[in-house]
């Protein structure tokens, strides 16, 4: 299926949205965060590293470290040093900046929180390299809160399907999704969209003919 410039103002109603997430939930029953981690700190570091990078590239870089140090912590990272951590993550995009942020946030966690990560949005977003999307992932995965982490897959699919209006404003996408996604799917919603976007409804040549939500999908931006 080819791409074209299509702009449709019409959006799904709540019943259609519920049907979409029911089908996505059936299709991806095991949708979850795919970043490797054994503790809260490792998840935070992995999410910071995943900015403008794939989960696959982050896992590939961190896997040897986590095998050697299963309980790798803020204390271990500070002991390793910024340069030492950089050597481990060098294959990931923006590695020098990310290594610097991870080292600094580790120091802050040790100084202010005894090495633990705070599970409050304001405190999370005050850490170097941690923005709203990262905080949303942490609060969702670790606390089970119905946050909506809008990454490239969520941004693309939510508009392609017809869940939200076309925009580049990820905060608006987040807010609009929170308003329309049924409560029973709210905690898992962004994982479902990520899995569907990562493995089925890809950016180019999505597998529409094999998609269970095809009859419901508005196919915004696609030839149909």
d(CA 121, CA 177): 19
Pick the catalytic residue: 23, 98, 133, 188? 133
33 is in an annotated binding site: no
Residue spans of alpha helices (H) in the chain: 14-27, 40-49, 55-68, 74-80, 82-89, 95-113, 121-125, 132-143, 152-161, 170-180, 183-186, 189-199
201 is in an annotated binding site: yes
d(CA 222, CA 157): 12
211 is in an annotated binding site: yes
- Whether residue 133 lies in the annotated active site: yes
Sign of the CA dihedral 191, 192, 196, 199?
positive
Pick the catalytic residue: 151, 176, 183, 207? 151
Instruction: Classify residue 182 as exposed, middle or buried by CB count within 10 Å of its CB (0-12, 13-18, 19+).
Output: middle
208 is in an annotated binding site: yes
- Whether residue 26 lies in the annotated active site: no
Enumerate the known binding-site residues.
201, 208, 211, 217
As annotated, the active-site residues are 133, 151
Enumerate the known binding-site residues for [4Fe-4S] cluster.
201, 208, 211, 217
């Amino acid at each position: 299926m080819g791409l074209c410039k299509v702009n449709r103002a019409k959006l799904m109603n709540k019943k259609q949205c519920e049907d979409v997430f029911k089908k996505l939930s059936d299709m991806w029953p095991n949708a979850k965060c795919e970043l490797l981690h054994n503790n809260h700190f490792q998840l935070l570091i992995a999410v910071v590293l995943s900015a403008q990078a794939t989960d696959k590239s982050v896992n590939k870089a961190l896997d040897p470290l986590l095998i050697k140090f299963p309980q790798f912590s803020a204390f271990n990272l500070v002991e390793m040093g910024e340069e030492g951590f950089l050597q481990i993550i060098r294959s990931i995009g923006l590695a020098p900046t990310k290594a610097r942020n991870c080292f600094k946030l580790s120091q802050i966690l040790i100084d202010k929180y005894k090495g633990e990560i705070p599970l409050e949005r304001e405190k999370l977003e005050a850490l170097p390299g941690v923005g709203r999307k990262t905080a949303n992932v942490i609060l969702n995965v670790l606390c089970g809160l119905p946050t909506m982490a809008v990454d490239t897959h969520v941004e693309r699919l939510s508009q392609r399907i017809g869940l939200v209006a076309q925009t580049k404003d990820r905060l608006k996408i987040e807010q609009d999704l929170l308003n329309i996604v049924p409560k029973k799917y709210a905690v898992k919603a962004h994982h479902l969209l990520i899995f569907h976007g990562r493995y089925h409804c890809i950016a180019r040549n999505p597998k529409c003919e094999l998609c269970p939500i095809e009859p419901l999908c508005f196919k915004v931006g696609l030839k149909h």
